Amino acid sequence: MRLSSEKSRLLTWISILLIIGFLTTIIGSYIVSRDTIRQNVVEQALPLTSDNIYSEIQKDILRPAFISSLMASDTFLRDWILAGEADQTQISRYLKEVKEKYGMISAFMVSDRTDHYYYADGLLKTVREDEHRDEWYFRVRKMKTDYEINVDIDMANRDAMTIFINHRVLDYNGNFIGATGVGLTLDTMTDIIDSYQARFHRNIYFTDHDGKVMLAGKSMTERGRITDMPGVASIASSILNRDVRPTQLEYRHNGESVLMSSRFIPELDWYLLVEQNITDDVLPVRKVFALNIAISAIVSILILVLTLFAVNRYQQRLRLIAGTDSLTGLLNRQAFELVFRQAMLDAERRGKPLCAILFDIDFFKNVNDQHGHLAGDRVLQQIADITRNALRESDIVTRWGGEEFLILLKDCPLEQAHTLAEKLRQTIADHTFVLDSKNVKLSISLGITQYSSRESLPAFFSRADKALYEAKSKGRNQVAVSFSDSEDRRM
Ligand SMILES: Nc1nc2c(ncn2[C@@H]2O[C@H](COP(=O)(O)OP(=O)(O)OP(=O)(O)O)[C@@H](O)[C@H]2O)c(=O)[nH]1
């Protein structure tokens, strides 16, 4: 009972240690890997993408801004306005050349004196302050900055959504005389964004200073304000911080973690937002985590099974070692006493006879003296074997101590015990022991006694001892019986 509870305590402790060990290692390495990926994304991947896109933008959007700036300071354009806009073919040829040379979708000029809107094919219209589509011009007119970038529809280009760079034109005294610039279709820009996204595997979009999504790839369906977008809304105020350095942010959406790099681009008055869903990057680490857990569970189970097996085997061996004599393999005296008590109770209850034979090798000291201790040990082993073979399965042989053996005969009357003792004596007397290549004859003396009801254990063994002593004193190699007071002494 105690052994099994100690065993389960041992197994519980091993399980706890294994679980703690494995979990600490696995969770620790998972956290380190996940944080390394995250750190890599935050510190390198996102800023790098942001930088790359920024330089691409400079090529793709800032180039038109630069062209618009050149147009605004072009002496021909300014002189033509100041000279009274006489020959319209001149300005349309100029705008057509700009458009074709720089590959723009449209090139335009609005004169402040006439409110005429010119494009590559001539005069398009006259802008009007009350016209919604012309609001941009009156805004540019009052604008403090040199130019603005405006996403609007282009009347000169079948109302296609276009990004216009509207640059103020000033005369030589710094007075406002009109607006000029070029336009790119939004489709072109969307394609550019899509190519960025495909190249960098990240979600890329632009918002204006109010957080309105101005430009995004085709895959982005929500085009409202970031303040209304689920997840992003929680960090909207941190995004719109007008910081030209990249700001690293994070938000959660649908249980997934999204890292974001935001930077303000003053030339556009827009924010460039680059997002990366970290869950995708962490997925392989999660798979390894699950695999590690499975492997650890299997290893733990194997360790527990092996431990259980080893403990059981050691327990078995301990039981064996504790109960048997290591030289002869017979029961030892301690174990025998337990067995004897059981046999005694059994005999009492069932009213069956129980006999004991105590025997001792005659002059065994001579064997040791003449042939050595090891030869003596071999003799003890052989006598144990002979005795075991002479008995029934139910009889119990014990090494009582030294060269003394005790046999317990269950359900055996005294006469039968005597016959058996005599037979054993004869067998050993007939046996030839070979010691140091010499044939040696040995004998044993035996004392028999029958257990009498309610007899104490020491009294019973003392009677057996008395009988053995009698056999010795009568000349050895014989059997003597010790009767109890109530027994018939005629044998
Ligand atoms: N080899 C060996 N000898 C043992 C062992 N146990 C006891 N002996 C020896 O057994 C001998 C017993 O000697 P004694 O008690 O004098 O008895 P004996 O020589 O057998 O003489 P009697 O019993 O009087 O016939 C001693 O020499 C012990 O050392 C053992 O395990 N191995």
The interface predicted TM-score (ipTM) is 0.94
| Rounded Cα–Cα distance for residues 217 and 154 (Å) | 20
Is residue 28 one of the residues assigned to a domain? no
Is residue 236 one of the residues assigned to a domain? no
Angle, helices 186-200/46-60, rounded to nearest 10 degrees: 150
Residue 258's beta-bridge partner residues?
Answer: 251, 277
3-class SS at 104?
A: coil
Q: Which residue has the tokens 């050349």?
A: 97
Task: Show which of 187, 202, 225 is a domain's final residue.
Answer: 187
Query: Residue 301: CB partners within 8 Å, gap ≥ 6?
Result: none
Range of the domain at 68: 62-187
Span from the CA of 366 to the centroid of ligand 1 (angstroms):
8
Best probe residue, ligand 1, of 333, 358, 365, 473 (max atoms within 8 Å of C-beta): 365
Q: Whose CA is nearest to atom 23 of ligand 1?
A: 362
| Rounded Cα–Cα distance for residues 263 and 246 (Å) | 5
Task: Show which of 187, 217, 235 is a domain's final residue.
Answer: 187
Q: Whose CA is nearest to atom 28 of ligand 1?
A: 365
Residues with CB under 6 A from ligand 1: 327, 360-365, 368, 373, 376-377, 380, 402-403, 472, 476
Q: Whose CA is nearest to atom 32 of ligand 1?
A: 377
Is residue 130 one of the residues assigned to a domain? yes
CA dist 46 to 51, 174, 219, Å?
Answer: 9, 43, 19
Determine which helix (DSSP H) or strand (DSSP E) holds 418, and give its type and residue range. Answer: helix 414-430
- In the chain, the amino acid numbered 306 is L
Q: What is the DSSP string of 163-221?
A: EEEEEEEE-TTS-EEEEEEEEEEHHHHHHHHHHHHHHHTSEEEEEETTSBEEEE-TT--
Best probe residue, ligand 1, of 364, 383, 472 (max atoms within 8 Å of C-beta): 364
- In the chain, the amino acid numbered 208 is D
3-class SS at 265?
A: strand
pLDDT for 333? 83
Cβ proximity of 225 and 210 under 8 Å: yes
Cβ proximity of 118 and 110 under 8 Å: yes
Span from the CA of 464 to the centroid of ligand 1 (angstroms):
19
Is residue 344 one of the residues assigned to a domain? yes
| Rounded Cα–Cα distance for residues 96 and 125 (Å) | 17
Q: Whose CA is nearest to atom 21 of ligand 1?
A: 363
Cβ proximity of 132 and 140 under 8 Å: no
Span from the CA of 469 to the centroid of ligand 1 (angstroms):
15
Best probe residue, ligand 1, of 368, 380, 404, 442 (max atoms within 8 Å of C-beta): 368
pTM of the model: 0.48
Span from the CA of 335 to the centroid of ligand 1 (angstroms):
22
Closest-CA residue to 168 (of 185, 196, 147, 189): 147
| Rounded Cα–Cα distance for residues 185 and 388 (Å) | 108
Q: What is the length of the chain?
A: 491
Q: Which residue has the tokens 């100690």?
A: 6
Name all contacts of 223-226 with Cβ < 8 Å and 24+ positions apart. Answer: 226/273
| Rounded Cα–Cα distance for residues 147 and 170 (Å) | 12
Q: What is the CATH number of the domain that holds 83?
A: 3.30.450.20
| Rounded Cα–Cα distance for residues 397 and 407 (Å) | 4
Number of H helices, E strands in the chain: 14, 18
Task: Show which of 153, 187, 221 is a domain's final residue.
Answer: 187
Span from the CA of 402 to the centroid of ligand 1 (angstroms):
6
Determine which helix (DSSP H) or strand (DSSP E) holds 118, and give its type and residue range. Answer: strand 116-119
| Rounded Cα–Cα distance for residues 102 and 96 (Å) | 10
pLDDT in tens, the chain (491 residues): 455 677 788 889 999 999 999 999 999 999 999 888 888 887 777 777 778 777 776 677 778 889 999 999 999 999 999 999 999 999 999 999 999 998 888 999 999 999 999 999 999 999 999 999 899 999 999 999 999 888 777 777 777 778 889 999 999 999 999 999 998 876 777 787 888 788 877 888 989 888 998 888 887 776 789 999 989 999 999 999 888 888 889 999 888 888 898 999 876 778 989 888 888 778 888 899 999 999 999 999 999 999 989 988 887 777 666 778 889 989 888 788 878 888 888 888 888 999 999 999 999 999 999 999 999 999 999 999 999 999 888 889 999 989 999 999 999 999 999 999 999 999 999 999 999 889 999 999 999 999 988 888 888 889 999 999 999 999 999 999 987 766 555 55
In Å, how far from its chain's centre is CA 126? 71
Is residue 98 one of the residues assigned to a domain? yes
Looking from the CA of residue 375, the nearest atom of ligand 1 is 1
Give the chain's domain count: 2
Is residue 337 one of the residues assigned to a domain? yes
CB atoms within 10 A of CB 200: 18
Tokens read off for 251: 């938000």
| Rounded Cα–Cα distance for residues 358 and 447 (Å) | 5
Give the chain's largest Cα–Cα span. 163
Q: Whose CA is nearest to atom 16 of ligand 1?
A: 365
| Rounded Cα–Cα distance for residues 308 and 300 (Å) | 12
Cβ proximity of 400 and 447 under 8 Å: no
Is residue 207 one of the residues assigned to a domain? no
In Å, how far from its chain's centre is CA 445? 72
Q: What is the CATH number of the domain that holds 424?
A: 3.30.70.270
Q: Whose CA is nearest to atom 27 of ligand 1?
A: 365
pLDDT for 193? 81
Cβ proximity of 261 and 47 under 8 Å: yes
CA dist 332 to 44, 170, 402, 451, Å?
Answer: 77, 120, 11, 20
Is residue 318 one of the residues assigned to a domain? no
| Rounded Cα–Cα distance for residues 155 and 259 (Å) | 39
Residue 308's beta-bridge partner residues?
Answer: none
